[in-house]
């Protein structure tokens, strides 16, 4: 039950009666009048129990886009429903008009559009719809909270998409040129064409040249149908915020760009997110669009406050493919976590695969490093230098073991990782 | 790459050893540190000491002694301890009371006792005064007000203040009262009165209508003393003050010495209830408005559906660990350690920028940095390898110099 401002106004009018006829009688009479009016209104109000509510929600929405969640109110009762309806979205769903007035005649249905502007990636929920059904006088209302669970999957924004065209152009440039100078070393024969100045003379196909009058060269194209396995670390180190974005989200951006690029390059992309267990997996065998499957899989990922278990990585990669493949590990180069975990299992991976370790570098450390002038600032600079030296030592260690390291600030990570992929592909190391 | 990492590790280790070795003699002794702390807080400490001294002095100086004027327990110049003690020595039972009820009870216990009534502030009401006057056989008043005179001795009238010229002057009795004649002369002060018997007249006030410092009724049942100085310790011994005072107060066996006290002020009348002046509908209206307010609170306070909770993510700032390490350095004053780290980082960057390769040692980096920056080798060597800082101030200057060197070496 709830009351409206009208009832309060009516009660305020009663003060005139109290002034003219001071005493208990006026008060009691007016109270009885108010109670009768409110009770009558309650009796005549349509029952919220007779209301059936359904949701029509889009399956997913990209963060930074807006969408509409529709409520369908079906009035099965015998009275006309005049109600205030509130959809219980969690705050980060960004419901702009969660509370609306609805009028549904008996036996009919009406829709209610709630505009959503999500502020967070992930699965955002609304558990209930609250209905306040007013009577014909609009004095009092019957209120009920109906459990109507609904959820919407907010996909990562894929801001790094803007780097895609330039990388795709470079991928096409790789196709059909002779930049692969090592003859036959892991590159595929593509076609024959006429020699032009600048071509490597070693790529002249003498047999074909003998058959024709012109000099003919062989062209190669980069290998296709290679395996790319992207492993995203969702452990405690991925919770750290760098430039107000968790490492995990930066890693997701890099994952999406690399996956789309590798897919366009003809490679098969597998994805897995892990900490102590596998949190999400997308395999290359699926039929529909890789990108949509990928964003759907990464949308609900959250940083877990536990230590990553790198030892499950070789097994997980083995389960994906037995062939030699490019393993891209998106993690953090924090000395403790890496030395105890990753360094132990890296030889196992490197024995069979090409490994790239990608990590977000904190520009805040460089700012701290540049500080000085006061004793605390110099101590901070020294601490930042120590952290940077540790990182440099860790990445030097990883490189010495044979892995490639991409250590870049947040907005650079995705394009630099794509560049690393292009370089490996161009040099035939895949 | 691994060689470079090993070089860095060597540099940092060597630096930390240097730093630790150079720091230990810098630790100040406990005594010096205590003195330094004392010096830093000297102003608050002094203020605290001053406050304590004042509090102590005031506690010391405070006693339980009575300090009111003409109190028989007050040895101060304005008290009357001397008079009271002499009277007691001569066999007069001096009873000191500060409550009207006690004084009255004492008067009733000793019929015919003399009442010395002192109420310069006028605490008592007329009723209380008349009550005392009824109980007392004989009354002595000192500088009474008009009201007090009217209640205790209606025949005696007030004649105003003694002329300022006569203040402190010797006055002769000039009357036929035995007490006054015995005293001979007194040192006058305070006020003058006019009664059936008037003695020690003020100058220029003679004849039957004279106003003097001593007035009494015919039968001596009420005596008015015009000056408090007649009883005060300071002036009791002057002229015939003492004689007049003792004869006046010691006429009976018992003297009830009553000093009015604020506790005797009667509680005031119950005031008119202001609510009774309001119109009759105010209370019902207030009650009704309270009901309306409660209804309005229900109207606004009723929530439409339960609260929705937001699962908040953890917020971990990435540079937190570096900040924490900086604070650790600072708390433990690890100047040497910080300097070694800064030096190692600077040398690593210099080596990388000057393309020295992973094999280069500190010597090579120093030489190359000197060449690139245009500084002399000894100066560069001094900065990079010799002059490692020992205190915080030195560290700040040294870090700045190091940064300058790095900028000069890498800008070309």
Least CB–CB distance from B329: residue in A99, A236, A383:
A383
B306 to A145: CB separation less than 8 angstroms, yes or no: yes
Q: Hey, which residues does A424 pair with through a beta bridge?
A: none
Distances (CA, A) of B92 to B98, B235, B236: 19, 21, 18
Alpha carbon A304 to its chain centroid, in Å, reads 15
Q: What is the pLDDT of residues A47-64, one digit of tens each?
A: 999 999 999 999 899 988
Q: What is the model's pLDDT at position A107?
A: 92
Q: What is the model's pLDDT at position B112?
A: 79
Domain map of chain B by residue range?
A: 9-26+329-411, 81-264
Chain B CB contacts of A5 below 8 Å: 299
Least CB–CB distance from A89: residue in B296, B308, B322:
B308
**Residue B102 token pair:** 């006690």
**pLDDT beyond 90 at A112:** yes
Q: Could you give all domains of chain A from N- to C-terminal order, each with its CATH number?
A: 48-155 (2.60.40.10), 176-221 (no CATH), 224-426 (3.40.50.410)
Chain B CB contacts of A22 below 8 Å: 280-281, 283-285
Closest Cα partner for A224 from A188, A255, A257, A256?
A: A188
Q: What is the model's pLDDT at position A346?
A: 92
CA separation for the pair B340, B328 (Å, rounded):
15
Q: What is the model's pLDDT at position A11?
A: 93
A143 to B400: CB separation less than 8 angstroms, yes or no: no
What's the complex ipTM? 0.74
B318 to A2: CB separation less than 8 angstroms, yes or no: no
Q: Are A155 and A60 in contact (CB under 8 A)?
A: yes
Q: Going residue by residue through chain B (412 aa), what tens digit of pLDDT does each one get?
A: 344 444 444 444 443 444 333 334 445 577 788 888 888 888 888 999 999 998 888 877 655 567 778 888 888 888 888 888 888 888 888 888 888 888 888 888 888 788 888 888 888 888 888 888 888 888 888 888 888 888 888 888 888 887 777 777 788 878 878 888 888 888 877 888 888 888 888 777 766 677 888 888 888 888 888 888 888 888 888 888 888 888 888 888 888 888 887 777 766 655 677 777 888 888 889 999 999 999 999 999 999 989 999 988 877 888 888 899 999 999 999 999 999 999 999 999 999 898 888 788 888 899 999 998 888 999 898 888 888 888 888 999 999 999 999 999 888 6
A384 touches chain B (CB under 8 A): yes
A193 touches chain B (CB under 8 A): no
Q: What is the pLDDT of residues A397-406, one digit of tens each?
A: 999 999 999 9
Q: How far is A387 from chain B (nearest CA, A)?
A: 7
The Cβ of residue A305 has, within 10 Å, a number of other Cβ atoms equal to: 11
**pLDDT beyond 60 at A179:** no
A389 touches chain B (CB under 8 A): yes
**Residue A324 token pair:** 């030699």
B323 touches chain A (CB under 8 A): yes
Pairwise pLDDT comparison (A363 vs B20), residue with the higher score: A363
Q: How far is B371 from chain A (nearest CA, A)?
A: 24
% residues pLDDT > 70 (chain A): 95
B299 to A22: CB separation less than 8 angstroms, yes or no: no
Q: Which of residues 365-394 of B touch A (CB under 8 A)?
A: 392-393
Q: What is the pLDDT of residues A322-355, one digit of tens each?
A: 888 999 999 988 777 777 888 889 999 999 999 9
**Residue A101 token pair:** 């007035």
Helix ranges (H only) for B95-254 are 100-109, 126-135, 146-152, 178-183, 241-249
B344 touches chain A (CB under 8 A): yes
Strand pairing category for B114-118 and B254-259:
parallel
B316 touches chain A (CB under 8 A): yes
Q: Are B195 and B217 in contact (CB under 8 A)?
A: yes
A374 touches chain B (CB under 8 A): yes
pTM summary value: 0.62
CA separation for the pair B142, B191 (Å, rounded):
9
A132 to B337: CB separation less than 8 angstroms, yes or no: no
Q: Are A346 and A355 in contact (CB under 8 A)?
A: yes
Q: How far is A218 from chain B (nearest CA, A)?
A: 38
% residues pLDDT > 90 (chain A): 61
Count of residues making up chain B:
412
Matching residue, tokens 């209640």: B151
Q: What is the model's pLDDT at position B61?
A: 63
Chain A CB contacts of B292 below 8 Å: 8, 11-12, 14-15
Helix ranges (H only) for B157-274 are 178-183, 241-249
Pairwise pLDDT comparison (A179 vs B33), residue with the higher score: B33
Q: Are A390 and B321 in contact (CB under 8 A)?
A: no
B2 touches chain A (CB under 8 A): yes
DSSP-based three-state secondary structure for B292: helix
B314 touches chain A (CB under 8 A): yes
- Helices vs strands, H then E, count in chain B: 15, 12
Pairwise pLDDT comparison (A186 vs B128), residue with the higher score: B128
């Amino acid at each position: 039950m709830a009351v409206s401002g009208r009832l309060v106004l009516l009660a305020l009018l009663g003060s005139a009666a109290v002034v003219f006829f001071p005493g208990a009688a006026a008060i009691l009479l007016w109270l009885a009048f108010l109670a009768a009016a409110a009770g009558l209104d309650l009796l005549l109000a349509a029952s919220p129990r007779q209301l059936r509510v359904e949701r029509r929600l889009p399956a997913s929405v990209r963060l930074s886009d807006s969408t509409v969640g529709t409520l369908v109110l079906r009035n099965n009762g015998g009275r006309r429903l005049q109600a205030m309806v509130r959809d219980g979205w969690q705050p980060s769903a960004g419901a702009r008009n969660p509370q609306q007035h609805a009028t549904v005649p008996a036996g009919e249905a009406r829709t209610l559009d709630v505009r959503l502007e999500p502020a967070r990636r992930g699965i955002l929920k609304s558990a209930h719809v609250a209905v306040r059904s007013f009577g014909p006088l609009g004095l009092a209302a019957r209120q009920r909270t109906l459990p109507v669970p609904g959820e919407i999957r907010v996909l990562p924004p894929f801001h790094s998409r803007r780097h895609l065209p330039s990388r795709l152009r470079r991928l096409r440039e790789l196709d059909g040129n002779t930049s692969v100078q090592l003859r036959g070393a892991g590159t595929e024969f593509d076609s024959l064409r006429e020699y032009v100045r600048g071509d490597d003379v070693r790529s002249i196909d003498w047999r074909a040249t003998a058959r024709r009058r012109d000099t003919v060269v062989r062209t190669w194209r980069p290998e296709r149908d290679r395996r790319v396995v992207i492993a995203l670390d969702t452990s405690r180190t991925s919770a750290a915020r760098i430039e107000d974005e968790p490492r995990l989200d930066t890693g997701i951006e890099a994952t999406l760009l690399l996956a789309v690029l590798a897919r366009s390059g003809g490679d098969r992309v597998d994805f897995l997110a892990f900490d102590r267990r596998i949190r999400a997996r997308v395999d290359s065998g699926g039929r529909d669009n890789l990108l949509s499957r990928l964003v759907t899989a990464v949308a609900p990922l959250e940083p877990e406050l536990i230590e990553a278990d790198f030892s499950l990585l070789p097994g997980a990669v083995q389960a994906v493919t037995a062939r030699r493949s490019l393993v891209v590990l998106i993690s953090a180069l924090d000395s403790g976590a890496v030395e105890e975990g990753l360094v132990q299992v890296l030889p196992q991976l490197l024995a069979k695969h090409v490994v790239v370790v990608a990590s977000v570098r904190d520009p805040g450390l460089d700012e701290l490093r540049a500080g000085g002038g006061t004793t605390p600032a110099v101590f901070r600079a020294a601490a930042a230098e120590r952290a940077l030296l540790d990182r440099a030592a860790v990445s030097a260690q990883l490189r010495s073991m044979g892995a490639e390291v991409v250590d870049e600030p947040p907005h650079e990570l995705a394009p630099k990782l794509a560049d690393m992929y292009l370089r490996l592909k161009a040099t035939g190391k895949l | 790459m691994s060689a470079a990492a090993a070089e860095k590790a060597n540099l940092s280790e060597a630096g930390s050893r240097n730093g630790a070795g150079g720091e230990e003699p810098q630790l100040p002794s406990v005594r010096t540190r205590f003195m330094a702390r004392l010096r830093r807080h000297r102003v608050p400490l002094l203020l605290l000491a001053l406050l304590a001294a004042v509090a102590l002095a005031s506690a010391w100086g405070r006693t339980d002694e009575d300090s009111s004027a003409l109190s028989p327990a007050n040895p101060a110049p304005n008290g009357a301890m001397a008079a009271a003690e002499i009277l007691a020595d001569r066999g007069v039972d001096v009873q000191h009371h500060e409550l009207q009820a006690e004084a009255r009870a004492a008067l009733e216990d000793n019929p015919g006792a003399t009442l010395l009534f002192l109420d310069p502030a006028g605490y008592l009401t007329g009723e209380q005064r008349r009550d005392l006057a009824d109980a007392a056989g004989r009354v002595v008043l000192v500088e009474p007000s008009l009201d007090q005179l009217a209640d205790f001795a209606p025949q005696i009238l007030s004649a105003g203040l003694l002329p300022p010229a006569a203040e402190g002057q010797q006055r002769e009795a000039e009357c036929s009262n035995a007490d006054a004649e015995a005293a001979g002369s007194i040192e006058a002060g305070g006020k003058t009165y006019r009664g059936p018997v008037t003695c020690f007249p003020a100058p220029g006030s003679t004849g039957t209508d004279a106003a003097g410092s001593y007035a009494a009724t015919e039968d001596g049942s009420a005596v008015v003393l015009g000056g408090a100085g007649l009883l005060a310790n300071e002036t009791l011994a002057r002229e015939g003050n003492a004689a007049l005072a003792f004869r006046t107060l010691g006429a009976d066996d018992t003297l009830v010495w009553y000093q009015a006290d604020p506790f005797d002020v009667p509680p005031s009348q119950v005031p008119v209830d202001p609510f009774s002046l309001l119109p009759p509908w105010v209370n019902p209206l207030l009650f009704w408005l309270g009901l309306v307010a409660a209804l309005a609170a229900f109207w606004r306070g009723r929530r439409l559906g339960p609260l929705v909770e937001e699962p908040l993510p953890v917020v971990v700032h990435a540079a937190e660990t570096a900040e924490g390490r900086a604070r650790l350095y600072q708390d433990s004053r690890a100047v040497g350690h910080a300097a070694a780290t800064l030096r190692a980082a600077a040398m690593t960057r210099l080596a990388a920028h000057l393309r020295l390769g992973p094999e280069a040692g500190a010597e090579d980096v120093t030489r190359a940095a000197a060449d690139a920056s245009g500084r002399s080798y000894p100066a560069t060597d001094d900065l990079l390898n010799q002059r490692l800082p020992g205190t915080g101030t030195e560290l700040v200057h040294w870090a700045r110099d190091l940064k300058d060197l790095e900028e000069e070496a890498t800008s070309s």
